[in-house]
Amino acid sequence: MLHIVLCDDDAAFTADLAQRIEALPAFSPRSMRVRCLTDPAALLADEEPCDLLLLDIDLGQCNGIEVARTLRRTRPDTVLIFVTNYKEYAPEGYEVNAFRYLAKGELDGKLEAYFEDALAICCARRQTVELVCGGEPVAVPLPALMYIESRGRDRHLHLQGGPRSHLVTHTTLTQLEELLRDQGFLRLHKSYLVNMAYLDTLQSTGARLTDGTALPVSTRSYRVSKQRFLAWKGRQVC
């Protein structure tokens, strides 16, 4: 199921936008669900999945850019489209990795194409890797996997934004590193493998994730890790 969330303080506009989306040729009621929110606080507190978010910038007393900044700490892979009449905020939108700006007056001409483009990104990001956890094969969603920690014979998987926040596997960290190298994961330390989508800062003294989690960094491999991280960030911008 692909989860689409609309957030605008104008309930009538949000309802109309939902109807427009559900009428698009690319929309499938069997595999997609649309939810409407009018309160940005409810959006930030929402624990339901959010693959695609259409967010207004003018949310009454709240600014949609600031809401998006907060949201990115726990949902870095949500595809974000600002639906607004304030295109002057476009430079700030790059800071929160906005996918598109859609003017409310241009819904008839651009909504369909933007929706199809966003779906393509969502599908590409909904990747999983199958690991044996607790004696059973589990499809681990890579966009939700923040980092992997090695403790003794176990590897602890820390996840965000899904039904499970913690899994344990006996697969070695070296095997996981090889498996996930091309999926945006970086070996920071002999005991830690991190999803770079959640990596906020990387320094020789340590790393910090978007949710505030602090992780150690190997000083011996720091320079190579930093180069890989900067190269990965450059590819995301492109």
Asked which of 95, 125, 155 is the last residue of a domain, the reply is 125
For residues 28 and 114, membership in a common domain is answered with: yes
Give how many domains the chain has, as a whole number.
2
Residue 75 has a pLDDT of 86
Residue 238 has a pLDDT of 46
For residues 154 and 97, membership in a common domain is answered with: no
Asked which of 72, 98, 125 is the last residue of a domain, the reply is 125
For residues 58 and 132, membership in a common domain is answered with: no
Asked which of 96, 125, 154 is the last residue of a domain, the reply is 125
For residues 117 and 158, membership in a common domain is answered with: no
CA distance 64 to 149: 34
For residues 46 and 138, membership in a common domain is answered with: no
pLDDT along the chain (238 residues), means of 10: 92 95 92 92 88 89 87 87 76 74 91 92 78 88 92 94 85 92 90 94 94 93 92 73
For residues 87 and 134, membership in a common domain is answered with: no
For residues 208 and 222, membership in a common domain is answered with: yes
For residues 144 and 115, membership in a common domain is answered with: no
Cα distance between the two ends of the chain: 28
Of the candidates 56, 46, 70, 50, the residue with the CA atom closest to the CA atom of residue 9: 56
For residues 61 and 23, membership in a common domain is answered with: yes
What residue numbers bound the domain in which 62 lies? 2-125
Of the candidates 1, 63, 71, 62, the residue with the CA atom closest to the CA atom of residue 35: 1
Residue 57 has a pLDDT of 87
Q: What's the CATH number where 117 sits?
A: 3.40.50.2300
DSSP state of 1: -
Residue 47 has a pLDDT of 83
For residues 118 and 145, membership in a common domain is answered with: no
Q: 11-22 and 107-125 helices cross at what angle (nearest 10)? A: 70
Residues 172/75/96/73 CA torsion (nearest 10 deg): -80
Residue 87 has a pLDDT of 66
Structure pTM?
Answer: 0.59
Residue 99 has a pLDDT of 87
